[in-house]
Structure 1
Amino acid sequence: MDLFEPRLPEAKLHDAFRLIRFDPDYAKVLPVIQNWATGLLDRKGESQKFIKEFQSTFNSSMWELYLNRAMSDLGCSVDYSKSAPDFVVRGPGNYEFNIEAVISDQPPTTVQQKTFSEQDFKVRGALKLVGKIRDKLNLYRGINGKKHPYSSLSHVRGRPFVIAVAPFDSNISLFQNNELINLVLFGMAPPELVGPDHGKQDKLGSLLTPSGSPVEMGIFTKDFFKEISAVFFSTVGTFGKAVVESQIERLVRSTRYRVMDKDKVELGSMLWQVGTHRFQFTNLTYLTTLRWEGGNQIGGADTLIQPASLFQSVSRNPVRP
């Protein structure tokens, strides 16, 4: 079944779907995303619902498409005869587990704030992540009147239950890297980036909702969430991945964390200079390096901007020091 054959009136189509479907510049991306759906659209009674959600709400379906492709690339198989949880997976060595996918989305009527507060962004993002994880745990347990909780299903009992979550709750939610999920899962506050305590991370037990109610952080340190075996989290399971795979002419920005022992850095290496430095390799290929010292190591990040047609080959052979 064709993901991109419109099934809804144009007014109900999501802006992202409308852009991909009708902009001729993205024609090569459509078959890439369609390929990601292999198997998902074979589910009885589910395909029509999935396609309509993909066309109308987009983000949650795109996340499931990304996960579906990821399972295949990781050498796993999915039992599409089971409609719940989202992915009944068999991995290498016949290891079986279940994945329930969820996103922290924003309501269609949400108005983006004109002024940006980093603290508000982080608190709101963390609260949304922990709320969505709790919602899926409730589905597993059968709380709130669910007739057939996941825990009662024969293919779920005795197997790891994994929640795959991605943030789409604001226009910049995908910039949050791993700070907020570390806070949610382990109660780890963001690291200090300047001063004598550089790299230090404190523990943070809870955050306050706008109404002042405390919400516990560090869910993997508490027995209440013990049924959750693991959490998959990504801020890169997006349309941009399909753009890269299609290799259409677009500039792609990627950021990669790096760390190196000082004694392994080549003497005079320009790419491991402490501080922020910028390099231009070609007319459309740029690299920004951010480096800081910590003990016997130098850490930081590479932000690379380059054409999508070069991204895959360069990412397999990253810039060397």
Structure 2
Amino acid sequence: MFAAGMIDLKNGSCMLDLFEPRFPEAKLHDHFRLICSDPAYAKVLPVIQSWATGLLDRKGESHKFIKEFQSTFNSSMWELYLNRAMGDLGCSMDYSKSSPDFVVRGPGNYEFNIEAVISDQPPSALQQKTFTYQYLKIRGALKLIAKIRDKLNLYRGANGKKHPYSSLSHVRGRPFIIAIAPFDSNISLFQNNELINMVLFGIAPPVLTGPDRGKQERIGSLLTPSGSPVKMGIFTNDSFKEISAVFFSTVGTFGKAVVESGIERLVRSTRYRVIEKDKLEAGSEQWQVGMRRLQRGPLDFLSALRWDNGSQISGADMYIQHSSLHRETHLDGLQVYLNPYAETPFDPEFAWPLEVALNYYDVESANHVAPHPDGALVSRQVFEPTPYSLRVLLESNGFLAK
């Protein structure tokens, strides 16, 4: 554990310790209790602490944030991830403002605001029930749209809110972004962008095999458990025009800190691959259409899928590796969705780093436009470095017969 007050050598200031317990053990979140008690995570704690630089300087807010981090964990981890991510985007934050969550100044003094939220898990009694994968997907999408709507209501001042975000001088006339991450089930971090595409653009996942490969069905609405329809595709019209963009990630989690710490783990990751056919080298094996599985080293496995996509070869690389072989930046896996109907559009000239995946909706063609870069991180999970974990990973991903 760190001392109660840490010295930030870079800024010369005293930083409050995220990991100094503020509650009796019984009230600490399970994840917080685990990472503090397990010596294997000793190198992860300072990584997370570094993400908090500046965030804990808010007067009257820092102690509240630490308590929430220790008692609820996931929502605070998401804010910590975003805090560091904004710095990596070349932005600074005005921590003197208590809301929205991030008052941001980017390069060229470009200003925008971010409100962070997660889709959380249901009560533990419901978590213990067994649900179908399809049910969990529908529930996950409904949770995402509900959380986005809740934050939009804070902006609009619905339900009698006295000081809506739209009334704040540092918010008016500037882009308003909602940053959301899914934590609603044990499989939520495996979804890539499937559910957020459904929520924002009203499209189903692409067909991966057969003559309809790449085709995406339209989804107009989903039904709640009570049978009420909830419209999908909120960025295909002006119903959510106050939201300029949505930031989304399934990897801006505790696992990101684990990877950045360099501790020993097994890492399963998937990266999007794409190349223009006119840039292909003759006989290039890595762009060969079809599926290839190979072992490249003692703890280095690659499953490469490629398909012909007209003028391009597209696909995905799935790795199972020792953490010493895995490379990942803090911004890897961050997806940005721009709202074409935004009343205050996000600057189209903003200089996004290459690893950030941008998503647009073409109003004229009614299509999702996703110019994701080759190598964009799609998903990543970390596992205990044990023979059992390795065997399960290899069996479940087709490297070993079950």
TM-score category by the smaller chain?
over 0.9
Would the alpha carbon gap of residues 113 and 18 (structure 1) be closer, same or farther in structure 2, given more than 3 Å must change? closer
Classify the secondary structure of the residue corresponding to 1:52. Answer: helix
Contact 1:77 1:91 in 2 (8 A): yes
Pick from 82, 92, 100: which aligns with 1:85? 100
1:251 corresponds to which residue? 266
Classify the secondary structure of the residue corresponding to 1:123. Answer: helix
Q: Provide the rounded CA distance (Å) in 2 between the counterparts of 1:108 and 1:216.
A: 25
Q: Provide the rounded CA distance (Å) in 1 between the counterparts of 2:35 and 2:123.
A: 19
Are 1:48 and 2:63 matched, yes or no?
Answer: yes
TM-score (norm 2): 0.75
Deviation track 1:125-176 (CA, whole Å, cap 9, x = no partner) reads 1111110000000000111222211011110011111000000000110111
Would the alpha carbon gap of residues 21 and 2 (structure 1) be closer, same or farther in structure 2, given more than 3 Å must change? same
Contact 2:303 2:317 in 1 (8 A): yes
Are 1:221 and 2:236 matched, yes or no?
Answer: yes
Matches within 5 A, 1:122-141: 122-141=137-156
Q: Provide the rounded CA distance (Å) in 1 between the counterparts of 2:222 and 2:122.
A: 22
Query: RMSD of the alignment, in Å?
Result: 2.0
Would the alpha carbon gap of residues 63 and 195 (structure 1) be closer, same or farther in structure 2, given more than 3 Å must change? same
Q: Provide the rounded CA distance (Å) in 2 between the counterparts of 1:45 and 1:296.
A: 56
Amino acid in structure 2 at the alignment position of 1:104: S
Classify the secondary structure of the residue corresponding to 1:34. Answer: helix
Are 1:208 and 2:223 matched, yes or no?
Answer: yes
Classify the secondary structure of the residue corresponding to 2:257. Answer: helix
Q: Provide the rounded CA distance (Å) in 2 between the counterparts of 1:80 and 1:169.
A: 29
Pick from 197, 215, 218: which aligns with 1:182? 197
| Percent of aligned pairs with the same amino acid | 79
Q: Provide the rounded CA distance (Å) in 2 between the counterparts of 1:114 and 1:187.
A: 29
Q: Provide the rounded CA distance (Å) in 2 between the counterparts of 1:101 and 1:313.
A: 23
Greater shift in the superposed pair: 128-137 or 213-222: 213-222
Q: Provide the rounded CA distance (Å) in 1 between the counterparts of 2:129 and 2:167.
A: 46
Amino acid in structure 2 at the alignment position of 1:187: G
Q: Provide the rounded CA distance (Å) in 2 between the counterparts of 1:306 and 1:195.
A: 30
1:146 corresponds to which residue? 161
Contact 1:250 1:308 in 2 (8 A): yes
2:23 corresponds to which residue? 8
- The alpha carbon displacement at 1:113 in A equals 5.8
Greater shift in the superposed pair: 205-214 or 274-283: 274-283
Contact 1:243 1:308 in 2 (8 A): no
Are 1:29 and 2:44 matched, yes or no?
Answer: yes
- The alpha carbon displacement at 1:194 in A equals 2.1
Classify the secondary structure of the residue corresponding to 2:162. Answer: coil
Specify every segment of 5 or more residues in structure 2 that has no aligned partner in the other structure, as ranges: 1-15, 333-354, 356-373, 376-402
- The alpha carbon displacement at 1:47 in A equals 1.0
- The alpha carbon displacement at 1:189 in A equals 1.8
Contact 1:130 1:184 in 2 (8 A): yes
Classify the secondary structure of the residue corresponding to 2:326. Answer: helix
Which of structure 1's runs of 4+ aligned residues deviate more than 6 A?
313-318
2:367 corresponds to which residue? none
- The alpha carbon displacement at 1:310 in A equals 3.1
2:352 corresponds to which residue? none
Contact 2:259 2:328 in 1 (8 A): no
Contact 1:205 1:217 in 2 (8 A): yes
Amino acid in structure 1 at the alignment position of 2:223: L
Q: Provide the rounded CA distance (Å) in 1 between the counterparts of 2:240 and 2:104.
A: 22
Q: Provide the rounded CA distance (Å) in 1 between the counterparts of 2:162 and 2:177.
A: 21
Contact 2:140 2:184 in 1 (8 A): yes
Specify every segment of 5 or more residues in structure 1 that has no aligned partner in the other structure, as ranges: none
Deviation track 1:16-70 (CA, whole Å, cap 9, x = no partner) reads 1111111101101100000000111111111111111111110000000000000
- The alpha carbon displacement at 1:309 in A equals 2.9
Q: Provide the rounded CA distance (Å) in 2 between the counterparts of 1:19 and 1:274.
A: 44
